Amino acid sequence: MTMSKVPDTSLDGDDRLYVAPLAGELVSVGATELFVRTAGDPAEIAEQTPTIFLHGLGGSSTNWTELMYLLSGQTYGIAPDLPGFGQSPPPHGDDYKLASHAAIVAELIQDLFGTRRVHVFGNSMGGATAVQLAGRYPDLIKSLTLISPALPDLVPRGSSIHLPITAIPGVGERLLRRLARRDPEWRVNASMEICYSDMTRIDPRRMVDQVAEAKERDKLEHTSDAMLLSLRGIMESYFDRSHERPWKLAKSIKAPTLLIYGRDDKLVNPKMALRASKRFPNARVMVVPDSGHVTQMEHPRLVARAWSELIADRT
């Protein structure tokens, strides 16, 4: 494990970067469908290792737009909307367990690339899913980059202290119904306030895109279930005591791993970086100043540089 020196982000100038949402399509994966966005040149797949990007709770593939754009010259990027999120339909049997998400992503990788190894990014719930993926399907993984992964922590932080309460049957349903009565603009702004360290880094066009996406999600019957059942799936992983529990899987992951935490994260305690550094055997760790829960959105250029350095040094 190595601790990476993090550049002073104030020296990077204006961190705002806006790229319009990438094109995508529904693809069949076994018995289900995933909406998948891509970036990069498909003709270069034979020469470049592909990369999978997994979003967090309440997010979608658009959470990776700017980073995928920045990396499109180095890798062919694939960002699925996880089952029930974005434009992907809900999973069969309302199965929102992290291991089930990982199984579907593994099948997607195999359908697209056969036995080739891929780079994987995961943020928050997507980070926890990526750990399940790398731990259960190690032969598919070339490298792993986890941004504020939702791994078990005994001490909830700030806004995250309400998440276990929301997972309680009955309570969560009432809270989500109350939230649904708020207009999309209010909900998007509240979500950004929680996830960002500095709201001024958000391009106004990104806010417009997010509100439009929220309005489309409001039309779907499964939107609240996806949030609530996924949250319960995360909480279930926190209490898993099997040999495939998250921290146990982390110790088994041999692929080069980059762990990125935001110093101002309101959901995942950046002190978790120390614990994570001791569990992932081949990891380097960054704690980014002036960053919240979605460093790939708040500082996409910094994340792109850190990943490029990992790939150059370790793969």
Element (H, E) at 77: strand 77-80
Alpha-carbon distance of 54 to 62, in angstroms, equals: 10
Per-residue burial over 101-129, b if 16 or more Cβ lie within 10 Å, else e, is: bbbbbbbbbeebbeeebbbbbbbbbbbbb
Indicate the SS3 state at residue 221: coil
Give the chain's radius of gyration (CA, Å). Answer: 18
Residue 190, pLDDT score = 93
The alpha carbon torsion through 6, 10, 11, 16 (nearest 10 deg) reads 100
Nearest Cα to Cα of residue 303 among 314, 288, 283, 284: 288
Residue 315, pLDDT score = 66
Nearest Cα to Cα of residue 191 among 212, 214, 169, 171: 214
The alpha carbon torsion through 92, 95, 97, 103 (nearest 10 deg) reads -20
Report H helices in the chain. Answer: 65-71, 98-113, 125-136, 163-166, 171-180, 184-195, 204-218, 223-238, 246-252, 272-279, 295-298, 300-314
Residue where the block lists tokens 């949030």: 227
Residue where the block lists tokens 């180095």: 74
Residue 238, pLDDT score = 85
Judge whether 44 and 19 are in contact, CB under 8 Å.
no
Indicate the SS3 state at residue 261: strand
pTM of the model: 0.92
What's the residue count for the chain?
Answer: 315
Indicate the SS3 state at residue 24: strand
Residue 181, pLDDT score = 81
Tens of pLDDT, residue by residue, the chain (315 residues): 444 444 343 434 457 899 999 999 999 999 999 999 999 998 888 889 999 999 999 999 999 999 999 999 999 999 999 999 999 999 999 999 999 999 999 999 999 999 999 999 999 999 999 999 999 999 999 999 999 999 998 555 454 445 555 555 655 566 767 777 889 999 999 999 999 999 999 999 999 999 999 999 999 999 989 998 998 899 888 888 888 899 999 999 999 999 999 999 999 999 999 999 999 999 999 999 999 999 999 999 999 999 999 999 976
Residue 172, pLDDT score = 59
Give the domains, in start order, of the chain with CATH numbers.
Answer: 2-314 (3.40.50.1820)
Alpha-carbon distance of 186 to 92, in angstroms, equals: 31
